Structure 1
Amino acid sequence: PNVGKSTLFNRIIGRRMAIVDDRPGVTRDSLAAECRILGKRCMLVDTGGLSNFRRKSEIEQGVDRQILASMKRAALCLFVVDLQAGVVPEDLHVAETLRRTGAEILLVGNKADGERHDRTGAEFSELALGEPFPVSALHGRNILDLLEAVAARLPETREHADEERIRIAIVGRPNVGKSSITNAVLGQERCIVSAEPGTTRDSISCDFSWDEVPFTIVDTAGQRRRKSKADDIEYYSISRARSAIKRSNVCVLVLDAEQGLTEGDKRIASAIQEFDRGFLIAVNKMDLIKNPNMDYFIKNLLTDAPFLRNTPILFVSAMHREGMDSILKHAVDIHDRMFTLLPQDLLENLIYDIRAMFSPRSQGRLIGEIKGVLHDKVDPPRIVLQVNDSDLFPPDYMKLIENRIRDAFNLAGVPLQLEAIGKPKMKNKKRKK
């Protein structure tokens, strides 16, 4: 731990993706990013620190399992050591663990901030992995030389067209079961699960396919109000979670079935709607509820948060892997509708019928009239009403039209932008003589 793995990871991929902090144990879940190293396409994985403590917490055991799984899958392992600290017992433990996996190993000596540190590598001979390759991840020293050494050891890769993936963000408050749902969808322990709130810190993404549809699922850190502005780790965790929402196609807001909808859940839901992302709710931990009444739950939820009226609500159990296919099926449906133009003739007929049945606002002799309907954009869908005066179409009337459109075209969970544009022509007044 704390040898600079995440700093080196960020340096190689060329952006700050992994959270970096001086405190050991900040990285927990393995974080992966696709990148090119001197023309060779590869997946770079930043792991947590492998410790040699005999007694380990539930989280530490989960970190170890993920590290071992990453080692076994890797074509090349970069074993990072701290040149300034020298050989420590954890280094010997990691070296022995790596040798047992049979993986190819490149020893990297980090924190070589000057030439004097280049000559300290000899003491690492007891690791029996050769002299460490001296770099400074923080300052970028010798990084290009390291990339050349890495590229020389990587296998050749074939270029292939990027698949159009549906990107799903799993979001919610701490300890509602986001990582458990991610693991249940993937069918493997990809994210560390613990009863301790705040276990997940980075946003962890994984590619997979379901029913021949390619997905990327992103498990995010639990979002809550920070107790202290000085807590940089929590700040970056929340920032990454909001970024994951913004870059997703569909967001799954996970609720705790025992706790119901909280104020924190409402804030996250508002953020999803603010970014105009596809949206569905997964009520998790249904296995803990005796005699569940789904209709009663939904009624209370919509009474408390009527702005969620158009959001699909699913009841799932990550523990028993129940409802995972339903999440993915709804995500596909929402995604497809976000990218589909509505039939123009049906859309026009619907809106003109609404205008005929319900009159908008009037001002003097001027009555609100709809002159045209245009569906000009997808992701998210946008419908523009060309009107004689947009001031005569107040928010409640626009909401009426939106709800009718949603019901007619089954747009539950789909963000919809509805605009009225148009101003009355100003009449020229004759000057009185």
Structure 2
Amino acid sequence: MGLPVVAIVGRPNVGKSTLVNRLAVVRDAIVHDEPGVTRDRTYRDAFWRDRDFQVVDTGGLLFDDDSEFLPHIRQQASLALAEAKVAIFVVDGMAGLSAADEAIAQWLREQSVPVLLAVNKCESAEKGLIQAAEFWQLGLGEPFPVSGIHGNGTGDLLDQVVDRLPPTEAIEADEAIGVAIVGRPNVGKSSLLNAFVGEERAIVSSVSGTTRDTIDMLVERQDKRYRLIDTAGIRKKKNVEYGPEFFGINRAFKAIRRADVVLLVIDALDGVTEQDQKLAGRVADDGCACVVVVNKWDAVEKDSYSIYDYEKQAGDRLNFIHWAPMIFVSAHTRQRVPKILDLVDTVAEQHKRRVSTAVINEVLEEALAWHTPPTNRQGKQGKIYYGTQVATAPPAIALFVNDPKLFGDNYRRYIERQIRQSLGFAGTPIRLMWRGKKVRDMERTTANRATKV
């Protein structure tokens, strides 16, 4: 069983995300002085007293407006309430009671989840009671004056939340594989997440930039658990203004760093763009395992050679991650979508794989036999003494040589290619660390000193 869910609902710009940051363990919900910043439902881990639970932030609710994303936001809020054990209805104590609050209260009374009323923006304890008194009219019980910014009153509110949660249940401790879904705007990242989950977990729209924040979702498959992380579409830096999109893109970069595997989603109709290339470089620099997902393949006119031609052209443009497997899917029809997780399992295993020193040196010995190291103009030839793996995620192999300067880029790429051909490491970058004789002598001296001490 998963953690119990507490849904945060309310009209736009009442401070729901600010309150979520106050209640959550990690305060990273996007907060901006603009209504409609939060659109999808986003989950954050929380803890109070002896209970772990999740708070789910939802978009601002308006029942008298069907423009833009508002119908989708209402659907997301309904889905959040359907899985919640407790709902917190957030209102604005400074603005006072509004018709929109009354409409939401009426809707909440029709739901089967217990509701707590939080009157936000009550920064003063004395004035807070006066501000909260007006909201008794909603008929949802006692209004709790709180301040999402300063934390006033949140302890009393959380006491009420914990008292209404069901008894503690056993939670599986298996660690989920973190999978970040990244790409340019409107390439189908949210559609892909929904195809994995089998429900409309994220808002999907033809309007680019629909997803503003990272969206986490746990999925179980064949006794394995995956934490799927949908991210905001990443545009060129010069086109991004400071605000919700700026913060969303920063969240996307953080998601890449904390994920075990990155799904780099490419639009099959657009092909590999310059921005896709930059994202590929970012994935490689961060040392992430990666699968390239070419989405919207159902919309491409093709023959028996199309997939091979496309794979070659895309591979040439994504040479930063030449080691990443590529799969052609359609999130719309779910074609080959389940096979993505098969690739995720493979590359995640390779990302954390460790190879013995003896096996590495057998590979190096064979590579040296086929192609000896280069010789410089002074007649000095490079020598590789031995290699050993020093880290995983990504795999890092230290190569001890006489002088790293004697090994040019071409030979270094040759050694990496031989290691991949012999040992695999599909879907993950490899870090080769060329260490010279001086470095080895220093390490040996340090080790001897430590032994004497």
* TM-score for the superposition, normalised by structure 2: 0.90
CA contact (8 A) 1:84 1:117 kept: no
1:389: which partner in 2? 403
Alignment partner for residue 100 of structure 2, among 50, 68, 90?
Answer: 90
How do 1:57-96 and structure 2 match up within 5 A? 57=68, 59-96=69-106
Matched pairs, number: 424
- Partners of 1:7 and 1:54 in 2: CA distance: 24
- Partners of 1:305 and 1:103 in 2: CA distance: 49
1:205: which partner in 2? 216
How do 1:9-88 and structure 2 match up within 5 A? 9-57=20-68, 59-88=69-98
Letter in 2 for 1:316: V
CA contact (8 A) 1:40 1:156 kept: no
How do 1:422-433 and structure 2 match up within 5 A? 422-423=436-437
Letter in 2 for 1:302: G
Secondary structure (helix, strand or coil) at the match of 2:291 reads strand
Report which stretch shifted further, 173-182 or 36-45. 36-45
- Partners of 1:392 and 1:168 in 2: CA distance: 39
- Partners of 2:317 and 2:78 in 1: CA distance: 46
Q: Runs in 1 of length 4+ with deviation above 3 angstroms?
A: 158-161, 226-230, 343-346
1:100: which partner in 2? 110
2:417: which partner in 1? 403
**CA shift for structure 1 position 161:** 5.6
- Partners of 1:136 and 1:144 in 2: CA distance: 11
- Partners of 1:87 and 1:379 in 2: CA distance: 53
- Partners of 2:438 and 2:45 in 1: CA distance: 53
1:137: which partner in 2? 148
- Partners of 2:66 and 2:319 in 1: CA distance: 49
Letter in 1 for 2:326: I
Secondary structure (helix, strand or coil) at the match of 2:389 reads strand
Alignment partner for residue 248 of structure 1, among 256, 259, 268?
Answer: 259
**CA shift for structure 1 position 307:** 2.7
Alignment partner for residue 269 of structure 2, among 245, 258, 264?
Answer: 258
**CA shift for structure 1 position 424:** 6.3
CA contact (8 A) 1:71 1:98 kept: no
Structure 1 pair 182/230, CA: closer, same or farther in 2 (3 Å)?
closer
1:431: which partner in 2? none
How do 1:12-411 and structure 2 match up within 5 A? 12-57=23-68, 59-114=69-124, 115-158=126-169, 160=171, 162-227=173-238, 230-291=241-302, 293-363=306-376, 364-411=378-425
Report which stretch shifted further, 19-28 or 335-344. 335-344
CA contact (8 A) 1:369 1:387 kept: yes
- Partners of 2:286 and 2:400 in 1: CA distance: 25
- Partners of 1:142 and 1:173 in 2: CA distance: 41
Show structure 1 runs of 5+ residues with no match.
426-433
Letter in 2 for 1:106: L
Q: Deviations over 1:285-339 (max 9, x none)?
A: 0111122501111222233333332221110000001121111000000011112
**CA shift for structure 1 position 152:** 2.0
Structure 1 pair 312/84, CA: closer, same or farther in 2 (3 Å)?
same
- Partners of 1:303 and 1:34 in 2: CA distance: 41
**CA shift for structure 1 position 140:** 1.5
Q: Deviations over 1:170-189 (max 9, x none)?
A: 00000000000011011111
Letter in 2 for 1:196: V
Secondary structure (helix, strand or coil) at the match of 1:65 reads helix
**CA shift for structure 1 position 380:** 1.0
Letter in 2 for 1:200: T
Secondary structure (helix, strand or coil) at the match of 1:123 reads helix
CA contact (8 A) 2:25 2:47 kept: no
Report which stretch shifted further, 408-417 or 184-193. 408-417
CA contact (8 A) 2:63 2:103 kept: yes
**CA shift for structure 1 position 343:** 4.6
Q: Deviations over 1:98-151 (max 9, x none)?
A: 111111010110011112232122322331112310011112212222222222
Letter in 2 for 1:361: P
- Partners of 1:208 and 1:302 in 2: CA distance: 30
Show structure 2 runs of 5+ residues with no match.
1-11, 440-453
- Partners of 1:143 and 1:123 in 2: CA distance: 19
Q: Deviations over 1:402-422 (max 9, x none)?
A: 112112223221121111211
Report which stretch shifted further, 350-359 or 195-204. 350-359
Secondary structure (helix, strand or coil) at the match of 1:50 reads coil
CA contact (8 A) 2:180 2:262 kept: yes
**CA shift for structure 1 position 221:** 0.2
- Partners of 1:260 and 1:27 in 2: CA distance: 30
- Partners of 1:284 and 1:165 in 2: CA distance: 24
Secondary structure (helix, strand or coil) at the match of 2:365 reads helix
